[in-house]
């Protein structure tokens, strides 16, 4: 992977020994998922996609719709008709035996860039995000802190997305992943190595430093 200077917020985790992402124990049939995505993509017009980037560089199709309680808290999501077109994905999600809050097919255009940001998803928090790679160009990478994550299709993984992260796609092909938000509990944590959600004082402290550094140093977005 090409070496390049690290941003100040990335330098926070250098040499810390903190695990920021890791593969899960579950594997998926990447070939079947790709075939099913192709069918879903062909059957879904633009009206069936949620465009979440103003420039159209990435969009999503909802497989499990986010559920909300009357108090605004997220609860177990509800499958959509789109999930019927991806039976392999349905079987995979059911096999996780996690409490799933939502699931989206996320499409990133060739050369798409989801710039540095941070979320509240991590296995040490109430909610976590699991990634299911479906189509992943070899040069596509997700940077979490100073650590690049580039897992092949079919290899599920999770990350500590409370740290600043950036998603970069290669210029030659779209990148397709399933984004699965789950409740962080004993079951979901059992799918990942303990190092991914351990060392809490260090993890929380470095996360705060990294986020503060991002807010202080990143360039303002033009409007």
What string of pLDDT tens digits covers the 223 residues of the chain? Answer: 456 799 999 999 999 999 999 999 999 999 999 999 999 999 987 777 876 766 767 889 999 999 888 887 888 899 999 999 999 999 999 999 999 999 999 999 999 999 999 999 999 999 999 999 999 999 999 999 999 999 999 999 999 999 999 999 999 999 999 999 999 999 999 999 999 999 999 999 999 999 999 999 976 544 3
Distance between CA atoms of residues 202 and 123, nearest Å: 15
Burial degree of 153 (CB within 10 A; 0-12, 13-18, 19+) = middle
Residue 82, token pair as written in the block? 């789109």
108 - beta bridge partners? 58, 175
Radius of gyration of the chain from its Cα atoms, rounded to whole angstroms: 17
Cα–Cα separations (whole angstroms), residue 45 to 49, 51, 101: 7, 12, 25
List the CATH code of the domain at 20-189+203-217.
2.60.120.330
183 - beta bridge partners? 127
pLDDT of the residue at 219: 67
pLDDT of the residue at 54: 64
Which residues, 6+ apart, have CB-to-CB distance to 83 below 8 Å? 63, 64, 89, 90, 103
pLDDT of the residue at 220: 54
Distance between CA atoms of residues 138 and 144, nearest Å: 18
């Amino acid at each position: 992977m090409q070496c390049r200077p690290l941003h100040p917020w990335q330098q926070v985790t250098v040499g810390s020994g903190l695990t920021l992402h890791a593969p899960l124990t579950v594997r998926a049939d990447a070939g079947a998922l790709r075939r099913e995505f192709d069918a879903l993509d062909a059957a879904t017009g633009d009206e069936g996609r949620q465009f979440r980037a103003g420039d159209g560089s990435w969009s999503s199709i909802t497989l499990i719709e986010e559920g909300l309680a009357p108090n605004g808290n997220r609860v177990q999501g509800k499958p959509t008709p789109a999930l019927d077109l991806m039976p392999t994905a349905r079987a995979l999600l059911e096999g996780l035996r996690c409490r799933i809050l939502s699931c989206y097919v996320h499409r990133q255009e060739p050369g798409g860039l989801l710039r540095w940001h941070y979320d509240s998803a991590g296995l040490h928090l109430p909610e976590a995000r699991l990634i299911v790679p479906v189509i992943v160009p070899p040069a596509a990478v997700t940077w979490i802190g100073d650590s690049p994550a580039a897992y092949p299709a079919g290899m599920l993984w999770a990350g500590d997305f409370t740290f600043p992260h950036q998603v970069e796609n290669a210029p030659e092909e779209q990148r397709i992943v399933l984004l699965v938000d789950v409740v962080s509990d004993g079951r979901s944590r059992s799918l990942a190595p303990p190092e991914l959600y351990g060392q809490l004082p260090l993890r929380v402290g470095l996360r705060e430093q990294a986020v503060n550094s991002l807010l202080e140093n990143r360039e303002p977005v033009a409007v």
